[in-house]
Amino acid sequence: MDWLQALILGMIQGLTEFLPVSSSGHLIIGKELIGLEVTDNIAFETVVHCATVLSTITILRKEIVALFLKLFKLQWNPETQYIGMILLSMIPVMIVGLFFKNTVEQLFGEGLTLVGSMLIVTAILLTFSSLNFKFLNFKSLNFKPMGWGSAFLMGVAQAIAVLPGLSRSGATIATGLLAGVKKEEVAKFSFLMVLIPILGETALGAMKGDFSAAVSGIPASSLAIGFFAAYLTGCFACKFMIELVKRTNLLWFALYCSIAGIIALIYALW
């Protein structure tokens, strides 16, 4: 992977991480389009995901600091409960990552056929949540606040979304909406609940030496360029696209995922 390919893929990651369109799926599509082999090595993906997590921390730093300041008061206040719900939501994906990661990779692997199929599944999820939202006329009802049950269901959705092409944010936001939680609250929770799992995975990879050129096969300069490209575009995307997710009808994202999924399947079968 040269510096230009790393730059392009880093920008793809940063721009797609905060939309319900699957950043991992777009990375695989991007690799295919620029002629990189889609391999089992996940060093680059982990690095750019870490970059977008840091961009989330940068943009949402005030909210994160406020949560931790309340946590250190050692009181069972709303902020402490919110952090507890975030921790609860992480349990399913941690179980999958620790005990079933290799099994999932062996069963499903990664490639355009899987990515295309999962993008279509993402489109179905987004469509169902949008239409259900419309038919039940939730806008005229009182939304439920984020609760423990909703947080756990979103965590289960995040664990299932380890499959390439199945959007993590799309799955979690759709699940939250179907649980009757406000869209803006669902979007914020969706972006915060992934912070610790990604940072943890990055730390484990660094301790094992997965990011060295000898192990990853990727030059350190390319990893660095990909990281900064994803971080800078991620800061831009996080700042503007949280509002976009809150205000835009998810059916538009469903339409995009459908088209992208169909194109990916046609390309894979060509």
Q: Under 8 Å CB-to-CB from 237, ≥6 apart: which residues?
A: 14, 15, 16, 17, 18, 19, 55
Range 35-53 burial, b when 16+ CB lie within 10 A, else e? ebebeeebbbbbbbbbbbb
- For the chain, give the percent of residues with pLDDT over 70: 81
Q: Please give the average per-residue pLDDT across 236-243, as a whole number.
A: 76
Radius of gyration of the chain (CA): 18
To the nearest whole number, what is the mean pLDDT of the chain? 80
Among 66-75, 89-98, 132-141, the range scoring the smallest mean pLDDT is 132-141
Q: Which of 176, 73, 171 is nearest to 123 (CA)?
A: 171
Range 192-221 burial, b when 16+ CB lie within 10 A, else e? bbbbbbbeebbeebeeeebbeeeebebeee
> Distance (Å, rounded) from C-alpha 247 to C-alpha 180?
16
